[in-house]
Structure 1
Amino acid sequence: MTFDTRVDATGKRVLTFDCYGTLIDWETGILDLVRPWLAAAGRSDIPEDLVLTAFALHQARHQQTRPALLYPEVLSRTWGDVQATFGLPDDPAQRAAFAASVGDWPPFPDTVAALRRLAGHFALAILSNVDEASLARSLRLLEVPFILTVTAERVGSYKPGARHFETAINDLAAQGYAKESILHVAQSRHHDVDPASRFGIPTVWVDRRHGKRGTGATIANTAVPLARVPSMRAFADAVCV
């Protein structure tokens, strides 16, 4: 699949975004946190991509079996499972730090500038698999206003479940934005491109992991987006014309 230098945003008035992996660099945030823990345990030999893969699989299991579980508890249980996967000692302090780390994960270097450009052309919204408090911390880093945020805490479900998209469609309609005016922008084909397509919402895949092996902190999926871009900067270049 090639990158698209032009994206057909005709008739689109609102952009809905996944946050973590798309706007926020959660893989860097996660690895920067756990790298010293692995070193202290004498396990710097564990490949970082394998840590991210284990994270993705264990997180998905907790999210889908306990959809009402708040995201910090998902993270705590997920890191406990990663510890067990690699034979690391159970460390409650690490699990607590991992659970509280979301607001410290950094935006991608191009995110804020791209959002500022996009805000001059579209209304912006976020559909995220986290809790309200964690997202609030990240929103301060993004620096632009969003007309709507839909969290897993609010809907009692995690993407790729349908409730994020059902809620966004209804709430945006109440603000005067028809479903046909929505373009969804996300990094994860599993969490976002696939379910959005089931609602007839076109998606732009921000392929943040292009050139890297595997799917990192997300689950593999072959859903086909409307367009594929390598970054938020490239997306802004494609639609801010």
Structure 2
Amino acid sequence: MKLSDFKALTFDVYGTLIDWEGGMITGLKPLTDRVSHSLTRDDILEAHAFYESTSQRYSPAKKYYELLPVVYRRLAEEWGVEVTWEECEAYGMSARHWHAFDDTIEALTYLKKHFKLVVLTNTDNLTFSGANTRLGVHFDGVYTAEDVGSYKPADRNFDYMLEMLARQGIEKGDILHTAESMFHDHAPANKFGLANCWIYRRHDKEGFGATMNPGEMPTYNFRFNSMMDMAKAHQAELAG
């Protein structure tokens, strides 16, 4: 199997293209600065992962910028900090301003010359529009959790993506699903029989950070530590 075998790359955005862990840590600082006990970076991210995934299961139709304030409030309750709803809402609106990884734009610009680029994101349209301005390319499909009414890893999100891409003449075998999260993306990719590429942004860290532990580790067809590593591997293929 080669990267050049595929016609379309379908992307998770937050965690793969956008540095969501960095965005979370910065956005939560007004809260974490007031916590009386010591918290490591991974303590913060793992707690966020729990409350985010739980909120997504219980409120699948809620927009991401509406869901993040609930996560902020649950974290404040767990850590014993009093917050206002306005503070919670400010965190929800911060996600549209989170930055791309340093390698993302150059890699996407290269990959756009060779593949259709498609987004399957657990955010809403307003939040993604902020990210899109930072990513520097036009995507051939943008499918948000708001569009679908549920959050990955729900089957519904992948059913929707595959149905929409089929209308463009892109079949399942044409797709390489490209993502960081084992929980949100690679486990369902395995279930749907999608070829998959792990962008292992946390290759130098322990644990799963801002994503839930997937349990049994999913399999993957390719693994790179960054988007630029993926682009370079494709260049090497074409060079023979």
User: Smaller-chain TM-score range?
Assistant: over 0.9
Is 1:58 the counterpart of 2:58 in the alignment?
A: no
Cross-structure match for 2:102: 109
TM-score normalised according to structure 2 size: 0.93
Which position in structure 2 is the counterpart of 1:29?
23
1:45-99: CA deviations, max 9, x gaps? 2212101100000010010112111111210100101111111112323201111
Deviations along 1:25-62, one digit per CA (max 9) or x if unpaired, are: 011011112224422x2547221210110000001001
SS of aligned partner of 1:106: coil
Find the partner of 2:226 among 224, 228, 231: 231
Find the residue that maps to 2:3 and give its secondary structure: coil
Does the CA-based 8 Å contact 2:31-2:81 persist in structure 1?
Answer: no
Are 1:16 and 2:10 matched, yes or no? yes
Amino acid aligned to 2:5: G
- Identify unmatched segments of 5+ residues in structure 1: 1-6
Match of 2:143 in 1: 150
Give the SS at the match of 2:57.
helix
Q: Contact between 2:153 and 2:185, CA under 8 Å: does it hold in 1?
A: yes
Distance, in Å, in 1 between the alignment partners of 2:231 and 2:97 is 25
- Residue 68 (structure 1) aligns with: 61
Residues 110-140 of structure 1: CA deviation (Å, up to 9, x unaligned): 0000000100110100000011111111111
Residue identity in the other structure for 2:25? L
Aligned partners of 1:114 and 1:232 also within 8 Å: yes
Paired residues in the alignment total: 234
Q: Within 5 A, what are the aligned runs for 1:28-177?
A: 28-39=22-33, 41=34, 43=36, 45-177=38-170
The separation in 1 between residues aligned to 2:213 and 2:31, in whole angstroms, is 27
Counterpart amino acid of 2:230?
Answer: F
Preserved CA contact (<8 Å) 1:204 1:228? yes
Structure 1 outlier segments of 4+, above 3 Å: none
Counterpart of 2:186 in 1: which secondary structure?
helix
3-state SS, counterpart of residue 10 of structure 2: strand
Are 1:217 and 2:214 an aligned pair? no
Contact between 1:35 and 1:44, CA under 8 Å: does it hold in 2? Answer: no
Whole-Å Cα distance in 2 between the matches of residues 217 and 119 of structure 1?
Answer: 28
Percent of residue pairs bearing the same amino acid type: 36
Gaps spanning 5+ residues in structure 2: where? Answer: none
Q: Which amino acid aligns with 1:9?
A: L
